[in-house]
Amino acid sequence: MQQQRQLGPFRVSALGLGCMNLSHAYGVPPSFDDAQRLLLRALDLGCTLFDTATLYGFGANEELVGKVLAPHRRRFTLASKCGLQGVDGKRVVDGRPATLKKTCEDSLRRLRTEVIDLYYLHRWDPKVPIEDSVGALSDLVRQGKIQTIGLSEVSAATLRRAHAVHPITALQTEYSLWSRNAEIAVLAACRELGTAFVAFSPLARGFLTGALRDVGTLPADDIRRTMPRFEPAAYAANLKLLGGMAEVAQDAGATLAQTALAWLLAQGEHVLPIPGTANIDHLVENFGTDSVKLSAAQVARLDELINQQTVVGPRYNAAAQAGVDTEEF
């Protein structure tokens, strides 16, 4: 049985599964049969938190998760997201209350469920006060269509404003050894408010696994091709950071991926990483992190090796950064 952590009213596996990779952003997605095998294997490994979104595959990921996991609905906590979706083939941020409520109805249908356990505002729409968007989600809680509310890619200040309207169960943003922005304010704000912190891209989109050596092999439509840290010169510099990390991993009797995930789990009981993968071997490896325990000295060494001072390149390009509300170093 996997280590368990609290996610609002839910007790879930400390590691969840980010389902995006199965439909979105990383080149050609796996076949339905392969995706189905992976989702069911995650259940067998003790994963009880599955994370999807309206945006992923413009509805295709919710369809997949619903078709495969609906028969097992009582075995896991289901998270999805609204406020960022595909419209006429384009990515659109829309936090208007009517849109969020319509999106929820569509998500419930695709997910083949009567209620979504954790429903995130995927992006804060700056044209709509956060209080209005969260107010709409609180209406959905009262109507029994969602159980709890989450936010994604927002600052501590925005979290506090939202929390004043309705308790925020979880805040989700990128967090890993190479993306430390959450340490500026959000991690502490979550701890103070009793909000779980859900870490997406905990393996730095493959970097921290050590498996991606040549970014030139990435598909043309892979999201990483738009990210400064994955530009060839920057990535070559960043790869040099993995040598010291590999020494820590060897000392811990773990793989690089397990070491990265164990470091995250050591950052606080309210931190829940959701690594994604389309590869069953990687899935098994990730969930093997449960047996890895890093010493305080090993955690400190990793902190020293890979951090905002040692990583080359910002997390997002300027256009992508403008679309999020997170604090920046």
Per-residue pLDDT of the chain (329 residues; tens, 9 = 90+): 799 999 999 999 999 999 999 998 888 899 999 999 999 999 999 999 999 999 999 999 999 999 999 999 999 999 999 999 988 888 999 999 999 999 999 999 999 999 999 999 999 999 999 999 999 999 999 999 999 999 999 999 999 999 999 999 999 999 999 999 999 999 999 999 999 999 999 999 999 999 999 999 999 989 999 999 999 999 999 999 999 999 999 999 999 999 999 999 999 999 999 999 999 999 999 999 999 999 999 999 999 999 999 999 999 999 999 999 999 99
Rounded CA-CA distance 164/247 in Å is: 45
Which of 179, 181, 282 lies closest to 227 in space, CA to CA? 179
Q: Provide the token pair at 48.
A: 């009880």
Beta strands at 4-7 and 10-13: parallel, antiparallel or unpaired: antiparallel
Provide the residue count of the chain.
329
Q: Are 3 and 14 in contact (CB under 8 A)?
A: yes
The predicted structure's pLDDT at residue 92: 95
The CATH number, out of the four listed (3.30.1130.10, 3.20.20.100, 3.40.1190.20, 1.10.1840.10), of the domain defined by the range 4-205+265-292 = 3.20.20.100
The predicted structure's pLDDT at residue 88: 87
Which of 41, 51, 42, 45 lies closest to 18 in space, CA to CA? 51
Catalytic residue among 56, 119, 120, 235: 56
3-class secondary-structure state, position 2: coil
Q: Provide the token pair at 209.
A: 């696994």
Spell out the residues 6+ positions from residue 165 whose beta carbon is closer than 8 angstroms to its own: 130, 131, 134, 135, 138
Q: Provide the token pair at 222.
A: 């892979």
The predicted structure's pLDDT at residue 25: 83
Q: Where are the domains of the chain?
A: 4-205+265-292
Rounded CA-CA distance 121/172 in Å is: 10
Which of 296, 319, 277 lies closest to 42 in space, CA to CA? 277
For this structure, is 120 an active site residue? no
Q: Provide the token pair at 16.
A: 């969840």
Which own/partner contact pairs does 131-135 have at CB distance under 8 Å and 24+ positions apart?
131/161, 131/162, 131/164, 131/165, 132/95, 132/96, 132/97, 133/83, 133/95, 133/96, 133/97, 133/100, 134/162, 134/165, 134/166, 134/168, 135/97, 135/165, 135/166
- The full DSSP string for 140-200 is HHHTTSEEEEEEES--HHHHHHHHHHS-EEEEEEE-BTTB-GGGTTHHHHHHHHT-EEEEE
The predicted structure's pLDDT at residue 148: 98
User: What is the H or E stretch that residue 78 is in?
Assistant: strand 77-82
Q: Are 271 and 3 in contact (CB under 8 A)?
A: no
Residue 195's alpha-carbon distances to 12, 16, 179, 283, in angstroms, are 14, 16, 20, 27
Q: Are 286 and 256 in contact (CB under 8 A)?
A: no
Q: Provide the token pair at 263.
A: 């470091």
The β-bridge partners of 197 are: 171, 271
The β-bridge partners of 170 are: 150, 196
